[in-house]
A = this chain, B = another copy of it.
Amino acid sequence: MVRPTMEDVALRAGVSRALVSLVMRNSPKVSEARRTAVLKAAEELGYSPHAMARSLASRTSTVLGVMVSDLHNAFFAEVVDGIDEVAREQGFDVIINTGGRSPARERRALESLLSFRPAGLILLSPVVPATAIGKAAEQLPIVLVARSSRVSTVDTINDDGEQGARLAVDHLVSLGHKRIAHLDGGEGTQAGPRRRGYVAAMEAHGLVPQVVSSEYTDAAGARAIRSLIESDALPTAILSCNDFNAVGAISALEDAGLRVPHDVSVVGYDNTSLAALRHVSLTTIDQPRAEFGRLAAEALLQRVREERTEPVRHLLNPSLVVRNTTAPPGGPR
């Protein structure tokens, strides 16, 4: 259980510790002969550099910390893919930590991540208060994904939720729907823009918005539908705040003997892998998730390399993915 140190490698290769250090960092100013000797010794000993000692000594870090608010949501997995790709390309390591959607746990996760003194932090849809983020931002560069911020030292990557909601409404209207309700995401991140986009798009079409309060879950979507049915206010189309909500809505509709999309059309939001399942086949709004990750990592690395001090505010364009849960009112099936 004892790992060899640089000293051991140096001894075995018959060189100084400093030379080993240079080889490990791929310095060009090492003769080929010594380089191979050192690499051979390292290989034989099974040596690999101690990242912490390195970062302590160099007062720099090649680690990017990522806080994922909810590991259960596959949305974030794809963002992480994008981050990973760019980070690896540029020689950075990624460590992940999760906040479990609880501000307290998230705060602890943040602390933990900070204690590694990473080069920078990417927070995926964090729920901690803005002040906590601001405080952390005094210590290192921070990029926020799927959450906005006014702090000038913080970069943000978001999708244009208003536009996404508009795409959905336009699609439904073009199918001939007039009564379209929005199952609202309440306090959830990005729920605001989506709601605003929905309302604006409805009004632009001269239609009456119908916002039903709900949440980002399966069960909440079902509940909202049941309340609509009870109050006899069921429209011909539903725009859910996200895919889970939409799937819950669909199952409540089916339980009530209604057919989707024949009786009611449903549109989700996020294009999670769930939506793509043939069995679900949900019409939804896609966000370029991996692109979120790539842009986040790039923005962060620019700050890390001090190439930029101005904040960046990316607003990516979502797109409509038409599957089998939307049709003209009273249409197929």
Contacts and interface: CB of A to CB of B under 8 A. Distances in A.
Interface stretch (A13-21, A48-56, A312-320): A48-56
Interface stretch (A30-38, A132-140, A181-189, A232-240): A132-140
Contacts of A49: 115
A207 interface: no
* Copies of this chain in its oligomeric complex: 2
Given A1-B138, A50-B115, A117-B52, A254 B279 contact: yes
Interface string A122-135: 00000000000001
B139 A1 contact: yes
A246 to B, nearest CB: 9
A241 to B, nearest CB: 16
B279 A247 contact: yes
Interface stretch (A157-165, A195-203, A270-278): A270-278
A80 B84 contact: no
A208 interface: no
19 contacts: A48-B111, A50-B56, A52-B56, A52-B116, A56-B56, A71-B71, A71-B77, A71-B81, A72-B78, A74-B74, A84-B98, A93-B112, A94-B112, A218-B277, A222-B278, A244-B277, A248-B277, A250-B279, A254-B279
